[in-house]
Amino acid sequence: IYVGWQLNTKLNGGGSKISGLSIDYNQPLNFVPKIGKFFYLRANVTRLHLEGEHGADFTNFIPRAGNIGLTYNRLPVNIKLNYNYRGPQKLSTQSAINGFQYYAERKYFDLNAEYSFSKRATLFINGRNITNYPQDRVNLGNNIDYSRMNQVEEFGVQWAVGIKGQF
């Protein structure tokens, strides 16, 4: 249409299909004497499978993910520690290697803590990726010379601190 311009678009092929399984589990730890009533265990696992025509675009799809968390809740304190798993994520086609660029799988911990001063005011601190686990970008394809890690991203630990209030 315009000289010097190129139009790119994404396509979900007509024969595309996503199937899979997601399992959630929540368990109060009441069976632990004395302190168990204050603890909860939570887990989630998701596994997805793609089927589609060659032209289908599944960029940014994450086929495997999961997390497990332990919560301590005894007013006025609430503390949650979560272990998170994020499977590989396809980012883009890499023609030089006849393959794709991916984010490699990633494992990290999150921590959330709250202290309630009253029913209307709560102090909180939330930490994401508290072990500062990096995110690796990898090229995977048929050309072995170019199939390798090509970038490591370190975001640092992300903290949020504040007061929640109800008026």
CA dihedral of residues 33, 37, 38, 42 (deg, nearest 10): 110
Tell me the pTM.
Answer: 0.75
* 45 or 142: which leads in pLDDT: 45
Place of tokens 């025509």: 53
Please state the rounded mean pLDDT for residues 18-47.
91
pLDDT digits (tens, 9 = 90+) for 125-136: 999 999 998 888
Residue 1 scores a pLDDT above 60: no
- Give yes or no for a cis peptide into 33 (omega within 30° of 0): no
* 89 or 79: which leads in pLDDT: 79
Distance CA 72, CA 67 (A): 17
Helices and strands, counts by H and E, the chain: 0, 11
| Residue 82: its H or E element | strand 77-86
| Alpha-carbon distances of 131 from 70, 80, 106, 127, 161, rounded to whole Å | 17, 15, 12, 10, 18
**Range ranked top by mean pLDDT from 14-23, 64-73, 92-101, 140-149:** 64-73
